[in-house]
Amino acid sequence: MPLKWLNTFYGMNYVWIVRKIVIKKTPKISSLFTFVIHTLCALKKKQLNILFLFVLAFSFWQCASSEKSGLLGQVYHNTTAQYNAYYLGSERLTAAEAKLTTATIDDYNQILTFFPSTDTSITSPFRPEMEEVIKKASFAIKKHPKSRWTGDSYILVGKARYYMGDYDEAIRTFRFVNTGTKKDQVRFRSQVWLMRCFIAQRDFESADAVSDLLKKVRLNKNNAVHLFLNRADYYLLQKDTSLAITNLKLAIPIMRNKDYQARARFILAQLYQKTNNNKQAYEVYSKILKKNPPYELGFHSKLNLGQVTELSDPNDKARIEKYYTKLLKDSKNVDFRDKIYYEMAQFALKQKQYEPALDNLKKSTKASGNEIQKAYSYLLAGKIYYENLQKFSLAAAYYDSAVQVMPPNSVEYLAASERRDILKEFSTHFTTIQTQDSLQALARLDSASLNKRINAILEMAAKKAQQAQQDQQRQQNNGGQPRSPFNLIPGQNGQTNRPGGFNTNSGGTWYFDNPTSVARARAEFTQRWGNRQLQDNWRVSDKEASAVAQNPNNLIGIDSTGVSPDSATAINPKAARQDLLQNIPIGAERMKASNNQVEEAMFSLAGIYQQQLNEPTRAAETYEKLLQRFPATKHKSEVYYSLYLINHEQKNERAKTYADLVKREFPGSKYAKLIDQPDYLQQVSANNQKARQLYDSAFVNYHREQYPVAITLINQVQKQYPDSELSDRAAFLQVLITGRTQKPAVFKTAVRQFMEQYPSSTLLPKAEEILTSFEAYESGQLSEAEFNKTHPKKTIEPFAPEAQAVAEQTEEPPVSTEAEVQPNRRRRPRKEVVPEVTSEPSDPEITNDSTATDPVAVAQEPVADQDTTQADQQQESSVEPASNTPKPETSPAGTVSSPTTTAAPVAAAPVYATNLALPHVVVIAYPKTHPAFKNVYTKMINYNAKYNQIDKLSIDSATFSGATNILVIKEFGTGKKAVNYATKQKAPQSPLSKIRGIEFTTFAISSENLPILLKEGKLEDYLTFYKNNYF
C-alpha cells in the first residue's frame, strides 16, 4: 500500500509540481528532491514499509515532548489540545452554563438580565462541574503549553472561576491571557470577560476603562456581541436606559443563537415599555412571537403586548379583555394564571377601575404557586389602597403581606419594607385623627342624641361580632383555611369579610403556618390590646381600660376592616358602652388633650408626606389644614418653613408669602436664617468642626493638668462659637477645671450654674452626681479617697456618642478629629513582614509584564488560612500601654488653693499599628487655598456616585493644619480595598488625575491610626509608615 501510494502521489503529482514550479528558482534542490522520490519508488515493498514505519515512529518521537516546536510538533500539539482537553472542558462549561441558566428563576415583573445568575446560592451546586472544567483546561495548558489553544484554555479557567464567584482569581486569569497571548481576538475576549468580572464586582470605574479600551480595536462577531451585552448590563446598573437600548440594538442583529436573540429582544422591549415607548415595544414583542421563541418567553411577550397596545377606540378595550380571557382558557397556561390575572389587574388599573383590579389581584394570589408573583400582587394591591383609595390601614397590611412572602434579595424588598414601615406609622397618625374627630363629634351631642348614637354603634358592633363568629365557624368547617389580606376587604364583591374567600395554598392549611395571617393577627392584637408580655390573666379589666386609653384608635375595639379583634367572643354591651364613654372627651381639659393628639398627628402626617413619601402636594395640604385648625400651633415656625420649601421647589409664588411670615413672626429662628442663608447648615457644621478641634485641645491640656491653657481654649470656644453643639461640654469642662483650681464654694456654685444654664444637657446626671458627692464629702459622709473616685480627672471624653450623632445629622458631616491622649506604645517583635497589598490598576489591559504569574500554577500552591493570617497580623500589631506610669496624686477640691505647677510630660512619638483587617478610610491632603481644589468635595461625591455606588461612601472635610485641608472618604472594610481606591485616583476617571503641577497626597489609613495622625498633625511621619507597610 505505501509503495502504491507513493507511486501514485509522488510519481504522478508531486514530481510534476516540483518540475513546473520549483525548478525555475531552485534547480539544485529540485533535482535532489526528484532523485529522492525516484529512489523511494525504486525500493521494494518490504523495504518501503520498514522505512515508512521508521519515519512514523520518528514523527511521534518528535511530537511527544511538549517543548518541541517543529512543524510536526506544532500540528500534534494544536490538534491534541483543541480536540482533547480544550474540547472536553468547553463542552463541560457549555453544559454547566445551560444548567445554570435553567436554575435561574426569571422575574418577568422586572427587567430581565441576559447573563446567568452568579448568586452563590444558585451557583454552588455547580461548583464541582466548574472545578472539572478547570482541570480539563489546565491539562491542555500543561501538556501543550505552546499550542495555539493555550490562551483559549486559560479563558475557560477564568470563566469557571467567574461562575464560582471567585472574581479576583478570574480577573487575574484574564489579565494573564491579555498579556500572554499573541492572538488578538483571544486577547480581546479576555478583556470582554474582564469587563464582566468588574461589573459583577460593581467596580464600574475599571469596567468603564476596559470598555473604552475596546473601542479602539476591531472585534469579531462573537466578541462584539458579548461586549455590547456587557455594556448594556453596565448601563442598566448605572440606570442609563437610553445607552442600554443602544447597545442591545447593536448586539441583536449579529447574534447567532435564536433563543439568546429572543431574550435580548425581550429585554429591549421591556426597556421601551419602561420608557413609555409603547409603539417600539409593540413592534419588538411582535417580532419575538414571529421567531418561535421559547414558550415562557413567548407567553410573557403575549402578555406584555396587551399592556403596550394603543387603545384608540372603545372596541380595543373589549378586544384586550377577550385576549386575556383566551390566554386563561389555554390549558398550556395553567401554571401562568397568576401572572395573567396580575396583568389583567394592571390593565384595569390603567382604566382606573379599582374594584376589578383588586378582584383580579385576589384571583392572582389564589392561583399563585409562585411566591414572587404573589408578592407583586400584594404590592399592587397596597399601591391601589394607598394611592387611589387612600385606605392606609389596608395599604399597610398589604405591604406587610408582600414583605412576608418576598425573598430578602428581591429588587423590591427594601422599598416594600420601607413603605410598609412608613405606612404603619402613617396609619397610626391617620387613625388617631379619625378616632379623635369621631369622639369629639360625640362629645358635642346632647345626652339623648349621644345615647342614641352609642346604641347604634353597639348594635353595629354586635352584628359584626356575630358575623365574625359565623365566619370563624365556617373557616373551621372548611379545614381551617387561613385568612388572606384580600378577605379583610369590607364589602368586596357585595359581601363583608367573607372568611377563607380563597386559600393561598392548595388544600387545608393550619392557620399558624401562614405568616401573613399571623402577622395580621399580631397587628390586630397590638392595635386592640397594646404590646403585652407573656403572662397569665393578661386580659383583665384594668389592663383593657389602660390599653384603650393609651391607644384609642378604635371606639370599641373594631379595627379598620370592621372585624372585632376578639371575634370569637361576643361583645359585652355594658362594658363596651363604658369603654366608649370613657374615651369621649367631655370637658374642657379632656377636649384639649384630644386636640393635642390631633395637632401632633397632623404635624407628623404632613412630615411623613413631605420627607418619607415624597408627596409635596399632600404635605402642603396637610400643613395648611393644620394652620387652619390650630392657628397657634407650637409648630408654626417649622410649618411655615416647610410650606416655603415646598412652594419654592415647585416654583410657586406662595413661597415668598411663607418666607415673609417666617421672617416677620420668627425673626431670630434658624428657619429665618435658612431662608436668607441657604448654606446656613453648612456654616453651622463648619463652626461645630472648628469648635470641636478647640475643645479637644482644651481636653488634652486638662488631662495634662495644664489648666490655664485649657481655660483659654474654652473661653475661645464660648466666645467664637457660642451656639455650637459642644457649648455644654465646654462649660462642663470649665466646671471641672474650677473644681481643680478653686475653693469648694466656687466649685459648688459653678456646678449649680451649669445645671441651671443647661437643663437638657446629657451631662446633667454627671453634674448632679458630682454635686451630691461633694456635699457628702463636706458633711463627712465621704472620705477624701472616696470623693476622688466619684469625680476623677477624666470624667468626660473628647467625643461623646451624643455629640457625634448630632454631627452626623448635618448635610456635610465633619470628620471626627478625635484627639484623645493615647498611652505610650511599643510594638511587639514581628515574626514576618506585612503581606504585600496588590492593587488593581485602573486600566486592566495596559501592561507589558512578560513575566506575569501563571494563574493556573499559582492556583495549585497551598494558600495560608485567611483567618489565621488576620489573627496573626492583629496579634503582631497589638500594642501595650507603657508600664509604671502612675497618675498624679489629686486632692479634693476643698484642699486645692492654687493650680498645679507640674511640668507637662513630653509627648511620645506617634506609633502606628498595621492591621489591614480593620476598617480604613482614604485621606486626600491638599493645599487649602489653591483654586484647583475649589470644588473637589463635590467632584469626589459625583465620582463615588458613578463608580462606587455599592460601597456607599461618605466624605468629610476638615482643616488638617494652617495650610492644608483634608477630605476623608469612608468607610472601607479592609486596608486592601482602601489602598485600591487610593491607587485608582491616578486613573483618568478620577477628578484628581486632572490636577497637575500641584503637590497633594492620597493615602489609606486605618480607623485606629486616624485619631493619632489628627492629634499629632505630622503627615510626613505617617506617609513614611504608609510606604513601608502598605506597599
Q: Are 274 and 281 within 8 A, CB to CB?
A: no
Q: Does an H or E element contain 408, and which?
A: none
Going by pLDDT thresholds of 50, 70 and 90, the confidence category of residue 829 is very low
Q: Are 641 and 674 within 8 A, CB to CB?
A: yes
* pLDDT of 1007 higher than 50: yes
Q: Which residue has the higher pLDDT, 877 or 220?
A: 220
Question: Could you give the count of Cα atoms lying within 13 Å of 386 in the half-sphere of its Cβ?
Answer: 23
Please write the tens of the pLDDT for every residue from 539-575.
Answer: 443 433 333 333 433 444 444 333 344 444 556 777 7
Average pLDDT of the segment spanning 732-751: 86
Percent of the chain with pLDDT over 70: 70
* pLDDT of 823 higher than 50: no
Please write the tens of the pLDDT for every residue from 157-199.
Answer: 999 999 988 888 999 999 988 888 888 899 999 999 999 999 9
Q: Are 641 and 675 within 8 A, CB to CB?
A: yes
Going by pLDDT thresholds of 50, 70 and 90, the confidence category of residue 522 is low
Fold entry, domain 920-1030: Alpha-Beta Plaits (3.30.70)
Residue type, 839: S
Q: Does an H or E element contain 388, and which?
A: none
Q: Do domains 591-678 and 920-1030 have the same CATH topology?
A: no
* pLDDT of 602 higher than 90: yes
Q: Which residues contact 758 (CB under 8 A, 6 or more apart)?
A: 727, 728, 731, 732, 764
Query: Would you state the cell numbers that stand for residue 497, as one nine-digit string?
Result: 369579610
Which residues in 824-842 are b (16+ Cβ under 10 Å) and which e? ebeeeeeeeebeebeebbb
* pLDDT of 110 higher than 50: yes
Least confidently predicted of 81-90, 308-317, 399-408, 824-833: 824-833
Whole-Å CA distances, 344 to 359, 371, 699: 10, 19, 68
* pLDDT of 276 higher than 50: yes
Among the CATH numbers 3.30.1120, 1.25.40, 1.10.3470, 1.10.8, which is that of 681-808? 1.25.40
Q: What sections of 608-743 are H helices per DSSP? A: 616-629, 636-649, 654-665, 670-676, 680-703, 707-720, 727-741
* pLDDT of 532 higher than 70: no
Average pLDDT of the segment spanning 971-998: 84
Distance CA 679, CA 832 (A): 52
* pLDDT of 791 higher than 50: yes
Please write the tens of the pLDDT for every residue from 668-711.
Answer: 788 888 888 777 777 777 778 788 878 888 888 888 788 888 89
Q: Are 378 and 398 within 8 A, CB to CB?
A: yes
| Global pTM value | 0.59
Please write the tens of the pLDDT for every residue from 973-985.
Answer: 888 888 888 888 8
Please write the tens of the pLDDT for every residue from 639-666.
Answer: 999 999 999 888 888 899 999 998 999 8
pLDDT at 342: 92
Least confidently predicted of 377-391, 520-534, 549-563: 549-563
Please write the tens of the pLDDT for every residue from 197-226.
Answer: 999 988 888 898 899 999 989 999 999 999
Neighbours of 339 (CB within 10 A): 23
Neighbours of 24 (CB within 10 A): 9
pLDDT at 49: 67
Question: Could you give the count of Cα atoms lying within 13 Å of 122 in the half-sphere of its Cβ?
Answer: 17
Cβ neighbourhood burial of 156 (10 Å; 0-12, 13-18, 19+): buried
Please write the tens of the pLDDT for every residue from 18-66.
Answer: 444 444 445 555 565 566 666 666 666 666 667 666 666 655 555 555 4
Chain center to CA of 205 = 18
Q: Which residue has the higher pLDDT, 520 or 584?
A: 584
Phi, psi of 1002 (to 5 degrees): -125, 125
Q: Say which residue the cell 383609595 belongs to.
A: 389
Tell me the CATH number for domain 591-678: 1.25.40
Going by pLDDT thresholds of 50, 70 and 90, the confidence category of residue 861 is very low
Average of per-residue pLDDT values in the chain: 74
Q: Which residues contact 141 (CB under 8 A, 6 or more apart)?
A: 150, 153, 154, 157, 856
Distance CA 768, CA 761 (A): 12
Going by pLDDT thresholds of 50, 70 and 90, the confidence category of residue 407 is confident
Question: Could you give the count of Cα atoms lying within 13 Å of 946 in the half-sphere of its Cβ?
Answer: 14
Q: Say which residue the cell 359584626 belongs to.
A: 464
Domain boundaries, the chain: 2-64, 311-369, 591-678, 681-808, 920-1030
Distance CA 870, CA 819 (A): 28
pLDDT at 62: 52
pLDDT at 57: 60
* pLDDT of 884 higher than 50: no
Q: Does an H or E element contain 347, and which?
A: helix 337-350
If we measure between CA atoms, which residue out of 561, 419, 423, 546 comes closest to residue 486?
561
Average pLDDT of the segment spanning 754-769: 87
Average pLDDT of the segment spanning 245-264: 93
Phi, psi of 224 (to 5 degrees): -65, -40
Q: Are 199 and 233 within 8 A, CB to CB?
A: yes
Q: Are 423 and 403 within 8 A, CB to CB?
A: no
Q: DSSP code of 811?
A: S
Least confidently predicted of 358-362, 466-470, 582-586, 836-840: 836-840
